[in-house]
Structure 1
Amino acid sequence: MNHEPEPITDAVAPPRRAPEAPTHPATQIPLLLATVFLTYLGQMILNPIIAPLAREVGLAEWQIGVTISTAAVMVVVSSQFWGRRSQSWGRKPVLVAALTLAALTMIGFTIVSALGMQGLIPAGLLFTLFILLRGIGFGSAIAAIPPTAQAYIADVTPDEATRTKGMASIGAVQGVSTIAGAAVGGALAGLGLIWPIAAVPALLVVTVVLVAVKLRREPRQELIPDPAKVRPTDARVWPFLLAGFGMFTALGFMQVLIGFVVQDRFALTGQVTGVVTGGSLLAAGVGMVVAQAVIVPRSGWSAGTLLRIGTFVALGGFVLLIPSLGIWVLIAAVLLIGLGLGIAMPGYTAGPTLLMHRDEQGSLAGLIGATNGLTFVVAPTASTLLYGVWEPLPIIVGATVMASISVFVLLHPSFRSRRLA
């Protein structure tokens, strides 16, 4: 059902249903954050080696772009389902099911990649298997993780300050996973491209066991049998979704291309490209962690202020990334992008939750996840195609998108309301 926009007041919207809020939130938040960290660590380990892997197995840039875009389509399709099920089934069943699927598909991806590097699978079949395993299977599974964590944080935090810090904590562990994933992926790439790939399903199996053994299953009275469905056109939501779409589209352009940019600008080998790309993504992760673990909690800035400041900082990084000014300038540019988006993201995720009822939080979290996934439907394919036309072009487009969002969050009244200003 579609909830009509309601007036923005200083109080959080009261729950409209009988189910009780979780009774032991403090004991579960660290465990959910650990789950987010381990899952995203596995995903981020692949980032430094995705470009050299494509060339090692004989796939074109656009084929890797389509594979990533397919995963993003599955995130879009699945996120609201997982978000609402996290409130009706409970967090534990959702996470166990999703993580098991992720582990199984990445075991298959590891085997297929190893065979592809030995030339034992034809390119057409290899591309199809990449789409099925890394795209459809893993994409469907990973879609469950952010909505489940975000809906839980929204469920147990009563005001804007604590909710913004809670959402920032999710972003912070994702940033730490980016740092660790870049470091681990880059280091393992030095031993051979198959090693970082094989590390991913191992991490996912550990995460499944952790959740199955340690995560408390909610009592029936805490569940919401029929969570409300929030529409993307809801006036309380769409400005935030548009801002998030723009930010993550620009980020997607950078993340997908950075390995190709590093290798082509500096004429590096595949293994060295993995190490340098890992270093640049490490810088982005450092920026995000500093933003979300230090700046956001200590600043006390509202959701609207975080969005305005963060998008302008990220824009500076994109502008710096356009020209070829050397490896260290490239790393500095990526650091600024990570810092800016790290500041802005908690405002994007926390802001609309303050305008929702409790039974809407799961659907909203899924909608945010779907929006983020939608950007990676567009960004990988578009950026790799533009890169084939002219190497700086996708970075210029990313900078233009970020500039547009910076102006939007500065001028739109939704980000200057009494609650969010």
Structure 2
Amino acid sequence: MDRRLPPLLVAVFINIAGFSLILPLLPFYGQVFDANPFEIALLFAAYSFGNVFGEIHWGRQSDKWGRRKVLALTTFIAGLSYVAFAFAPSLWAAVLIRVFSGFFSGTLSVCQGFIADVSPPERRAKTMGYFGAAFSLGFAFGPVLGGLFAGEEVVAASFRLPIFIAGGLSVLASIWCLLALKDAVEPTGKGRPLPKYSEAFHFVSQEPLLARLFVISFFGIAAFASMEAIYGLWSEHNFGWSAHDLGFAFLAIGGGGLFAQLVLIGPLVARFGEARVILIGLALLALSMLLQPIIRMPVAGVLLMGLLMTGHSLAFPSAGALLSRETPPERQGSTMGLLMASNAIGRIVAPPLFGLLYGQVAFDAPWYAGAAMIALVAIVGVQTVRLLDSRRASATM
């Protein structure tokens, strides 16, 4: 491992711990403003809305200013936004603050740029595995802190301490970036070109394999984000859980992702290939959603969320890796940019719709709708496997 990489991984861990610390609080913090399920889901979607613009902007700025400066600046301002969130005077103010926070937290492309700077192409997949592990570890650690320091009463004061801790972690990440992170390449002073989404869309639509990978990613990530958004409300209704309980339940989500990243995905891809690993991940996703309302037990509720994250961590990194490998070098930037934008739209649009399902149809409806969505996506996954098998068979003839 390049010695310049560990400081980035530490920064990612600290930052994601702060971001994920907020997640188990949102369903209860929304209730402070008498928010309905649709409005609570908006708190989740608002962050992703800001995120998509942040990813485009800060990725380009990091080419001009350097990765270190951008990461230090954005994490510091994101930390300040948490303080504003703790004192939001209304639901819509809270939603706007979440958009602002998402914009300054949209630095995944900056981190990926840093990884590309310090690792040669043949080691990049392994390096991204380290990045995924740091992300999942932060995701496991943060919600526990959030639940641990949240109060029992559904009032704003009960959530201020954990929100302050989230802000403190972001500021700590900013200081760490300033002190420990070093740019691997000199800033160019020019931003990378904006992704040419129209060209990428035309290219992807003409390629049956790539089009199917886009469908899998869009609907799969939309379903996962929606389950994340309604889980707090559903577990409160069924098990009487508070933010404290939900924080420990989210530990299973981070643990499932960490287990998939460190233990499962490498051997499974080596043995079955990315396309079949995508199918395995989709099967785990659908199973976890289907069984949640059927079993309806607290222990199962935790374990199945861990299974949900395991499936997510198998399917979508594999889809991204396969899409990247099947895309020619001159199309990489625009195609991967389009994929990131497409996934973000799924995270923005789907959670409020599933919140409506939860509030207007039935409390269990989102789980069944999510399982049905993934089952349909799995059909596309089977077509992807057949396309790849057919292509490889033709290549050997």
> TM-score range with shorter-chain normalisation?
0.7 to 0.9
Change (3 A) 1:187 1:91: same
> Quick one: which amino acid aligns to residue 66 of structure 1?
L
Cα distance in 1 for partners of 2:328, 2:58 equals: 18
Alignment map for 1:276-295 (pairs within 5 Å): 276-295=245-264
Amino acid at match of 2:54: S
Range that drifts further, 331-340 or 233-242: 233-242
CA shift in 2, pair 1:239/1:286, >3 Å? same
Match of 1:131 among 88, 91, 95: 95
Shift in Å, 1:374: 1.5
Superposition map of 1:216-227 within 5 A: 216-220=182-186, 226-227=192-193
Q: Contact 2:354/2:366 (CA < 8 Å) preserved in 1? A: yes
> SS of the residue aligned with 1:26?
coil
Structure 1 residue 195 and structure 2 residue 161: aligned? yes
- Which residue in the other structure is 1:177 paired with? 138
Partner of 2:148: helix, strand, or coil? Answer: helix
- Matching residue of 2:126: 165
Q: Distance in 1 between matches of 2:281 and 2:300?
A: 20
Q: What secondary structure is seen at the aligned counterpart in 2 of 1:216?
A: coil
Q: Secondary structure at the match of 2:121?
A: coil
Q: Residue 370 and residue 262 in structure 1: after superposition, are their counterparts in 2 closer, same or farther (change >3 A)?
A: same
**Which has the higher mean CA deviation after the structures are superposed, 84-93 or 321-330?**
84-93
| Residue 89 of structure 1: how far off its partner (Å) | 4.1
List gaps (5 residues or longer) in structure 1: 1-24, 113-120
How far did 1:207 drift? 0.6
Query: Secondary structure of 2:183's partner?
Result: coil
User: 1:91 aligns to what?
Assistant: 67
Q: Which amino acid aligns with 2:27?
A: A
Residue in 2 that maps onto 1:247: 220
Q: For residues 410 and 36 of structure 1, do their structure 2 counterparts lie closer, same or farther at Cα, with a shift above 3 Å needed?
A: farther
CA pair 228-107 structure 1, distance change in 2 beyond 3 A? closer
- Cα deviation, residue 319, structure 1: 1.3
Task: Tell me if the contact between 1:79 and 1:370 (Cα under 8 Å) persists in the aligned partners.
Answer: no
Q: Is the 8 A contact 1:287 1:336 kept in 2?
A: yes
CA distance in 1, matches of 2:333, 2:58: 8
Residue of structure 1 equivalent to 2:84: 108
Pairwise CA distance, 1:66: 2.1
Q: CA RMSD in A?
A: 2.8
The alignment partner of 2:260 has SS state of: helix
Query: In 1, distance between residues paired with 2:188 and 2:28?
Result: 47
Structure-2 separation of matches of 1:66 and 1:87: 32
- Give the one of 311, 332, 340 matched to 2:303: 332
What is the identity, as a one-letter code, of the residue corresponding to 1:279?
F
The verdict on how the C-alpha distance between 1:187 and 1:107 changes in structure 2, with shifts beyond 3 A counting, is same
Alignment partners' CA distance in 2, 1:380 and 1:308: 23
Matching residue of 1:12: none
User: Is 2:245 the counterpart of 1:273?
Assistant: no
Map of 1:310 onto structure 2: 281
Structure 1 stretch displaced more, 193-202 or 59-68: 59-68
Change in Cα spacing, 1:55 to 1:158, as seen in structure 2 (3 Å) is same
Kindly provide the amino acid, as one letter, of the partner of residue 57 in structure 2.
F
Indicate how the Cα distance of structure 1 residues 238 and 172 shifts in structure 2: closer, same or farther if over 3 A, else same: farther
Does residue 1:260 correspond to 2:233, yes or no?
A: yes
Deviations 1:265-302 (A, max 9, x none): 12x2xxx4213322322112111111101112344434
Contact 2:17–2:142, Cα closer than 8 Å, also in 1? yes
Cα distance, 1:336–1:195 mapped onto 2, change above 3 Å:
same
Other structure's SS at 1:323 match: helix
From the superposition, tell whether residues 89 and 243 of structure 1 become closer, same or farther in structure 2 (CA, over 3 Å): farther
Alpha-carbon distance in structure 1 between the residues aligned to 2:267 and 2:182? 31
Pair 68,260 (structure 1): closer, same or farther in 2 beyond 3 Å: same
1:314 CA drift (Å): 1.7
- Consecutive unaligned residues of structure 2, counting only runs of 5 or more, are 153-157
Q: Which residue matches 1:28?
A: 4
Question: Identity over aligned residues, as a percent?
Answer: 23
Partners of 1:262 and 1:221 lie apart in 2 by 48
1:67 aligns to what? 43
The answer as to whether partners of 2:30 and 2:40 remain within 8 angstroms in 1 is yes
Measured after TM superposition, the shift of residue 188 of structure 1 is 1.2
- Are the equivalent residues in 2 in contact too, given 1:253–1:380 (CA < 8 A)? yes
Counterpart of 1:130, as a letter, is A
The alpha carbon displacement at 1:393 in A equals 1.1
Do the aligned partners of residues 98 and 242 (structure 1) sit closer, same or farther apart at CA in structure 2, a change above 3 Å counting?
farther
Counterpart-to-counterpart distance in 1, 2:254 and 2:77: 27
Relative to structure 1, is the Cα distance of residues 274 and 229 closer, same or farther in structure 2, using a 3 angstrom cutoff?
A: same
Contact 1:168 1:296 in 2 (8 A): no
Q: What SS does the aligned partner of 1:265 have?
A: helix
Q: TM-score, normalised by structure 1?
A: 0.80
* Mapped contact 2:21–2:143 kept (Cα < 8 A): yes
Please tell me whether the aligned partners of residues 165 and 296 of structure 1 are also in contact (alpha carbons under 8 angstroms): no
CA distance in 2: counterparts of 1:291 and 1:364, whole angstroms: 26
**1:153 and 2:115 correspond:** yes
Q: Tell me: higher relative CO, structure 1 or 2? Use CA pairs within 8 A at least 6 residues apart.
A: 1
Question: Normalized per residue, which structure has more helix?
Answer: 2
* Preserved CA contact (<8 Å) 2:83 2:163: no
